[in-house]
Homo-oligomer: A and B are copies of this chain.
Amino acid sequence: MKAFVTVALKKTVLDPQGKAVQAALAKLGHAAIRDVRQGKCFELDLAAGTNPAAARTEVERVAREVLTNPVIEEFSIRWDD
């Protein structure tokens, strides 16, 4: 059972790293790409036999309390059972 947690800066927060990537891509001729935002991904591998409901609660807690800085970041979770 795997969880993919994506952590990205909130839309209202400036993302200089993404802006730099976008500027580099524009210089390389990729003008169709108007905006880039960069974030972090975590692939969490859960022990086999973990109760699915408990796992969901635990991963959401880990994402909220450990992986994300709630002041400037937001997270989303995708599951691969």
Please tell me if the beta carbons of A58 and B30 are within 8 angstroms of each other in the complex.
yes
Known: A8-B43, A33-B58. 12 other contacts (CB 8 A): A8-B41, A21-B67, A30-B62, A32-B47, A33-B44, A33-B47, A33-B59, A36-B43, A36-B44, A36-B45, A39-B41, A40-B41
Would you list 13 pairs from A and B whose C-beta atoms are within 8 A, ordered by A residue?
A: A6-B41, A8-B41, A18-B43, A30-B58, A30-B62, A32-B50, A32-B54, A32-B55, A36-B42, A36-B44, A37-B43, A39-B43, A41-B41
CB-CB under 8 A from A58, the residues of chain B are 30, 32-33
Asked if A14 lies at the interface with its beta carbon under 8 angstroms from chain B, I say no
